[in-house]
A and B are shown apart, each in its own frame.
Chain A
Amino acid sequence: MNDHLPETTHGAQTPVGTQEPIPDPGLPEHEWRPTDVDPKAARRAERQVAGLFVLAILGAIGFIASYVIFKIGDTTDTIGNLGASNLMLGLCLAVTLLAMGAGMIQWARKLMSDHEIVEMRHPAASSQEDREAAVSILQTGLEESGLGRRPLIRNTLLAAGGVLGLLPIVMLRDLGPLPGDKLDHTVWDLDTWTPEMQAWWKTQNRTLQRVVRDVVGTPIKVTELEIGDLVNAEPEVLFAVDPETQQPVVEGTQLLVDKSKAAVILNRMLPSDIVSEQTLNWSVDGIVCYSKICTHVGCPISLNERTTHHLLCPCHQSTFDLTDSGKVLFGPAARALPQLQLTVDDEGYLAAVRDFTEPVGPSFWERG
């Protein structure tokens, strides 16, 4: 047995073929199906197909019945531990559709004529005459338009078309505001506050913004935390309530925007566990505060390994060292986790000294 090396051509594509080794035996002879030759088999197939269509009807009736019978909303009917309405509507619909489909397919397979038919192909390309006709038509059109002879029209037309294309792009300018320096600050920086937030702050008579527990909004005393505690926290202004209207000062979209940069975690550890000087200086009694927003692409992180003080992001597994200025230990994040400097205010609650000293969250071009 020998392998053939492929034939070689020299640039051109003249088909190099030897005589076909085996001639085309032509379409095979048609073989009949039992349903073609035996009337009893045909009738049985007919009954099968009809039965399937009847099953489809039954499924549809079941669907309508399920729609009426099974309740959802305040009291949900169940079958087993599954929601009854979804299950029964879905199963009846499935029976209807599958039976319909199976019936049509069975009909085609068993009863419809299965003689193979031959259809000739046409070349995809136009004939030579058509091509030439097309070329001459286009040339005629070009001549009659005079475009070829009048470069001034052509050039100005192109210029006009190009400029016209600019218009939709210009129209999109108001899609959004320019970033400015918004990404460099969070609501930990009191200078970025809205007038409503500032008005509320005036009623508080304090200078330092407290760190409060997320969801419940309560401020945190140092003595409340044990070694190993992990607190998910936010700046207190996000839970502020206007004393007159009793409405939240920050809500809706603004609340989510602020949370997406200002969310932090607190972790209490032994001061002797802290490695870097900055982390030690910015902590209070071993309580460190870091941004909760991952510097990779922005997921919130709160998977802390208490024993190693490694903080893991669930999205892409970037790991940060809480004892060492949030340094990256593993994973695709390139920047350390920003730390928030903590202090204790006059009443003994944990508070932030100032905003983060670097932008929070994913990197961007202008971050520097």
Chain B
Amino acid sequence: MSLDTSKIADTNRGTAATAKKPNKAGAVAGWADDRLKLGTLTKVFARKVFPDHWSFMLGEIALWSFIVLLLTGTFLTLWFTPSMSESVYQGSYTQLRGVPMSDAYASTLHISFDVRGGLLMRQMHHWSAMLFIAAMFVHMMRTFVTGAFRKPRELNWIIGSLLLLLGILEGFAGYSLPDDLLSGTGLRIADGLVKATPVVGTYMSFFLFGGEFPGDLIIPRLYILHVLLIPGLILALIGLHMLLLVFHKHTQWAGPGRTEQNVVGYPMLPVYMAKAGGFFFMVFGVTALMGAVLSINPIWKYGPYDPSKVTAGSQPDWYMGIAEGLLRIMPNWETHIWGVTISWNVMIPGQIIPFVLFGMIIGWPFLEQWVTGDKREHHLLQRPRNAPTRTAFLAAMVTVYGLLWAAGGNDILATHFHWSLNSITYFMRAAIFIVPPIVFYVTRRWCIGLQRGDNDLLLHGYETGIIMRSVEGGYSERHLPINPDRAYTLTARHRDQVHEIESAVDENGVAAPGSRIERIRAKLSRGMFADNVQKPTVEELEEARHHAEHTHELEAGLDHPASGHEFDDHALRDAEDVPLRQH
């Protein structure tokens, strides 16, 4: 349907556009459009199409959690004092009256006990921080396992990885702000990690804390990092992330009517505005529910930070759990050489391994592109089973992550399951090397098995559960072809292309430059696609159908499933006399 644009001004001169029925809303819209080209923007963006699938909403959980964080966080800044100056507490929490504490801690107590809704906002802020990072992880895993990071979305993947890193840092800074015993212990550990840096460690530590630990500058510095610098970066990156999403349009699952050239779904106005807006309220509501009934970070029980106090079960928030696990299971290697100390036991788990892991995350799209040599644009998602190596790699990495998580809580495991603390540590040291390759192999074979199942469906149809007995006495199961929509969905994908090198040497025996790398590349490429089941060719399908028709003779007379009542009269009959067609 076309709009009647005859009444809309096509220049800025002369009379303004007049709406058919002059009204206030039209006047305001006209005023704005005269300056902002809102009409064109509306035309372009309001009916943008987004495909519909639950797995596409995981990133939204992160987005809406961030909005909740901004709202609840702003509330908290109205009362929080980011200062480490000490005073003696005389407020309403009687157990701490007379105890000297920093203003940061005292103001957090004030928020919790003297501001109505303050404790609720504190708890909602903390819960949504955890949800924010968890949602980013789940969204990242979905994007990874469906291949949504492939060209042209590699940059978005990098932006997302940076958002994850920033979120983790932001969370660490945030829960350290109240200056309580638990988070202060975390800062102490962070200081130890910084001090272990070779050459510049002590300088970095003194610069960070403005002197010796704990000093009186770290909380104000973390505060400005937490409320200004990192949120600013996160907002900018989220904006860029969304911009790229709108520009590239969302990926979609393969299916009838869906191609690499289109996107099928529902329009932003009104459906997605309602669904996404509604989801925002649901995320906000779930956070409110958790803040209402589940107590989180009861800082009044920890007391103000004191370097000579500590609590059993000192863990950081869950997203730092793998760093904690790495620190706990690391053997105590340290080198003392030429008057200096190299603390491998702190550097490797605290600095090197997180760096390596993050590098792997950021670099994966480029590594995969290099191995597969695939430079096409991809807008259709891959089912995880159709990329077995990638899916298995994710499963292995998730296993490493989970084991390190568990190692970070080894004392909780020890008390709850009555295991020996030392045994858990020894077990984890071995497990993080032994278990992931096993998971990798199992996941890969599982995916390939699922692929074979899909291929069977295409070639032989689905199993109906009806067993036929042939004249010779053999049993076979009746298969019926799957419906064309489903068949198309299963085949709407590319065939894998292994990257081969032409020849390592030319006619004169001169090795091609970089041929060693190329050979490794080819090997990896072969390994990546080894045992993959490609979709059948037209010829194979024809052959399968023909084969099916051939066997159909054995099942003559059955163009519908048997009902089971054919012999209810218990009379003996010949096969041809069975009155099946009446059913």
Q: Do chains A and B touch in the complex (CB under 8 A)?
A: yes
Binding site for B on A (CB under 8 A): 1, 3-11, 13, 15-28, 67, 70, 72-74, 76, 82-83, 85-91, 93-105, 107-108, 112-114, 116-121, 123-125, 172, 175-179, 182-183, 214, 232, 234, 251-253, 256-257, 259-261, 263, 292-293, 296-303, 314-318, 328, 330-335, 361-368
- Is B476 part of the contact surface with A, judged by Cβ < 8 Å? no
- Minimum CB–CB distance from A311 to chain B (whole Å) comes to 13
Interface stretch of the complex, out of B1-9, B115-123, B355-363: B115-123
Q: Which of A26, A70, A232 contacts B308 (CB 8 A)?
A: A232
- Is B215 part of the contact surface with A, judged by Cβ < 8 Å? yes
- Minimum CB–CB distance from B254 to chain A (whole Å) comes to 10
> Judging by beta carbons under 8 Å apart, are A176 and B491 in contact?
no
Kindly identify, within residues 203 to 225 of chain B, every residue whose CB is under 8 Å from any CB belonging to chain A.
Answer: 203, 205-217
- Asked whether A300 and B307 contact (CB < 8 A) given A90-B120, A121-B263, the answer is yes
Q: Can you name 8 A-B residue pairings with CB atoms under 8 Å?
A: A25-B488, A98-B285, A101-B281, A108-B275, A118-B264, A297-B191, A302-B310, A333-B332
- Asked whether A297 and B327 contact (CB < 8 A) given A94-B289, A176-B210, A363-B196, the answer is yes
Q: Which of B208, B211, B260, B374 contacts A257 (CB 8 A)?
A: B211
- Asked whether A315 and B346 contact (CB < 8 A) given A13-B376, A300-B308, the answer is no
* Complex alpha-carbon distance, A113 and B92, angstroms: 55
> Judging by beta carbons under 8 Å apart, are B256 and A28 in contact?
yes
Q: Mark B288-322, 1 if CB is under 8 A from A, else 0.
A: 11011100000000000111111111100000000
Contacts of B116 in A (CB 8 A): 67, 70, 72, 85, 89
Which 8 pairs from chain A and chain B are nearest by CB?
A90-B292, A297-B192, A101-B281, A27-B257, A104-B278, A97-B285, A334-B334, A260-B307
- Asked whether A105 and B263 contact (CB < 8 A) given A253-B215, A330-B422, the answer is no
- Asked whether A314 and B310 contact (CB < 8 A) given A10-B502, A112-B274, the answer is yes
Q: Which of B196, B310, B339, B500 contacts A299 (CB 8 A)?
A: B310
> Judging by beta carbons under 8 Å apart, are B256 and A104 in contact?
no
> Judging by beta carbons under 8 Å apart, are B307 and A27 in contact?
no
- Asked whether A365 and B340 contact (CB < 8 A) given A1-B455, A72-B113, A299-B189, the answer is yes
> Judging by beta carbons under 8 Å apart, are B270 and A112 in contact?
yes
Contacts of B342 in A (CB 8 A): 365
* Complex alpha-carbon distance, A98 and B374, angstroms: 45
A113, A315, A316, A333 interface centre (most CB from chain B within 10 Å): A316
Contacts of A261 in B (CB 8 A): 212
Contacts of A363 in B (CB 8 A): 195-196, 334, 341, 343, 346
* Complex alpha-carbon distance, A368 and B114, angstroms: 51
> Judging by beta carbons under 8 Å apart, are B185 and A299 in contact?
yes
Kindly identify, within residues 183 to 204 of chain B, every residue whose CB is under 8 Å from any CB belonging to chain A.
Answer: 185, 188-189, 191-193, 195-203
> Judging by beta carbons under 8 Å apart, are A22 and B488 in contact?
yes
- Is B30 part of the contact surface with A, judged by Cβ < 8 Å? no
- Minimum CB–CB distance from B212 to chain A (whole Å) comes to 5
- Is B484 part of the contact surface with A, judged by Cβ < 8 Å? yes
- Is B373 part of the contact surface with A, judged by Cβ < 8 Å? yes
Contacts of A95 in B (CB 8 A): 285
- Asked whether A6 and B532 contact (CB < 8 A) given A21-B491, A83-B119, A117-B264, the answer is yes
> Judging by beta carbons under 8 Å apart, are B538 and A18 in contact?
yes
- Asked whether A28 and B206 contact (CB < 8 A) given A21-B491, A251-B86, the answer is no
> Judging by beta carbons under 8 Å apart, are B262 and A120 in contact?
yes
Q: Mark B394-422, 1 if CB is under 8 A from A, else 0.
A: 00000000000000001100000000011
> Judging by beta carbons under 8 Å apart, are A362 and B308 in contact?
no
> Judging by beta carbons under 8 Å apart, are B488 and A101 in contact?
no
- Is B459 part of the contact surface with A, judged by Cβ < 8 Å? yes
- Is B393 part of the contact surface with A, judged by Cβ < 8 Å? no
- Minimum CB–CB distance from B54 to chain A (whole Å) comes to 12
> Judging by beta carbons under 8 Å apart, are B265 and A89 in contact?
no
* Complex alpha-carbon distance, A284 and B209, angstroms: 38
- Is B536 part of the contact surface with A, judged by Cβ < 8 Å? yes
- Minimum CB–CB distance from A77 to chain B (whole Å) comes to 11
> Judging by beta carbons under 8 Å apart, are A27 and B264 in contact?
yes
- Minimum CB–CB distance from B291 to chain A (whole Å) comes to 5
> Judging by beta carbons under 8 Å apart, are A332 and B491 in contact?
no
- Is B74 part of the contact surface with A, judged by Cβ < 8 Å? no
- Asked whether A24 and B257 contact (CB < 8 A) given A119-B262, A297-B327, the answer is yes
- Is B379 part of the contact surface with A, judged by Cβ < 8 Å? yes
- Is B383 part of the contact surface with A, judged by Cβ < 8 Å? no
- Is B96 part of the contact surface with A, judged by Cβ < 8 Å? no
Contacts of B196 in A (CB 8 A): 297, 362-364
- Asked whether A24 and B502 contact (CB < 8 A) given A330-B422, A363-B341, the answer is no
> Judging by beta carbons under 8 Å apart, are B92 and A74 in contact?
yes
Q: Known pairs A97-B288, A314-B311, A331-B425; list 12 more (Cβ under 8 Å).
A: A3-B533, A7-B498, A101-B278, A101-B284, A124-B151, A257-B211, A263-B308, A296-B332, A298-B191, A363-B341, A365-B341, A368-B339
Contacts of A367 in B (CB 8 A): 340-341
> Judging by beta carbons under 8 Å apart, are A3 and B531 in contact?
yes
- Asked whether A368 and B488 contact (CB < 8 A) given A72-B114, A73-B114, A118-B262, the answer is no
Contacts of B261 in A (CB 8 A): 120-121
> Judging by beta carbons under 8 Å apart, are B456 and A1 in contact?
yes
